[in-house]
Amino acid sequence: MKISKIGTSIFILSVLIYMASSYLKNKQLDGTYIYYPDGAVKGMTKPINDSITLYFGYDRKGKLRYASRTVNEYLDGEVKTYFSEGGLFKTETWSSGELTGPWKMYYKSGNLMSFVQLQDSMPVGNRYEYFDLPGKKVKYLGNNVNVRGKKWTNSQTWYDSLGNVIKSTVRLTQISGPRDVLLNDSLKLIFRLESLEHPLIENFVYDCDSLFNIRDSTFTYSSKSAGENVVTYIKATKLGEQVARGLIQNYKVLYRRKNGAYATESKDIYWSYKYVVKER
């Protein structure tokens, strides 16, 4: 079967258009370079597709110092920073332009220096700092909470390289209790503390949101103790997954005011506990 000259011309033209568009597309994906005044490459931006772009930053000697990715022009994924001598210095995790996820820093030896979980650019949970030794030997442990949009440090503890505590503020080490409770029963929770700074403990359970804003001031349970443990009972009034939140005060009484109230000195620890309320 013979192909007409017009058909052949259309075919050749189609091939040429395809090759040209492919060339232009690949040319666009080759990347854009940024230069130092002396002409050395400072950075390169490389699009992967219409939404994802990679960026690499270099020092004047051409060594990689920074690598990141953007999705729809927002930082997204892991951002890496390197020592000038080479080797990973820091990793950050971003999601749609928000600093979130784990943040890690490293010694030049390659050993992990510190680790903290971030949420909305704020450290939450435990922050660890390590000795420059293999095996991630903890040097510092701090516990952070997002309280009404600001960082609150619940506790801090420092260790020697053998794992012995050198210094510590009062800290909540454990909340013991069941994860399931029947409707209208009481959930029994035991709070264990170490390194008390003051002789007394009082535990308050509020109706709080995730940032510890109090939604209903009439919803309050409290319990007191003169030891390192305090037991608290919470009435299960709603079905499904619940989160109890509250505040522990480790305190001492300083004096009694003229109006009968007591002046106190205290250290506050914020806590939360997830549980499920089931039908009988």
Contact 83, 91 (CB under 8 A): no
Rounded Cα gap, residues 56 and 67, in angstroms: 5
9 Cβ contact partners less than 8 Å away, ≥ 6 residues apart: none
Of 51, 50, 53, 58, give the one whose Cα is nearest residue 34.
Answer: 58
Q: Is the pLDDT of residue 9 over 80?
A: no
pLDDT at 29: 55
Rounded Cα gap, residues 188 and 33, in angstroms: 62
Helices then strands, counting H and E runs in the chain, come out as 1, 22
Of residues 3 and 230, more confidently modeled: 230
Rounded Cα gap, residues 54 and 69, in angstroms: 5
Q: Is the pLDDT of residue 196 over 80?
A: yes
Q: Is the pLDDT of residue 20 over 70?
A: no
Of 211, 210, 230, give the one whose Cα is nearest residue 221.
Answer: 230
Contact 112, 136 (CB under 8 A): yes
Place 33 in a pLDDT band, splitting at 50, 70 and 90: very high
pLDDT at 26: 46
Residue percentage of the chain with pLDDT more than 90: 82
Calculate the CA 87 to chain-centre distance: 24
Tokens 């505590």 sit on residue: 165
Rounded Cα gap, residues 146 and 92, in angstroms: 19
DSSP designation for 197: S
Gyration radius of the chain's alpha carbons: 29
Backbone angles phi, psi at 90, to 5 degrees: -155, 145
Backbone angles phi, psi at 14, to 5 degrees: -65, -40
Rounded Cα gap, residues 43 and 66, in angstroms: 9
Q: Is the pLDDT of residue 32 over 80?
A: yes
**Mean pLDDT, range 130-150, rounded to an integer:** 95
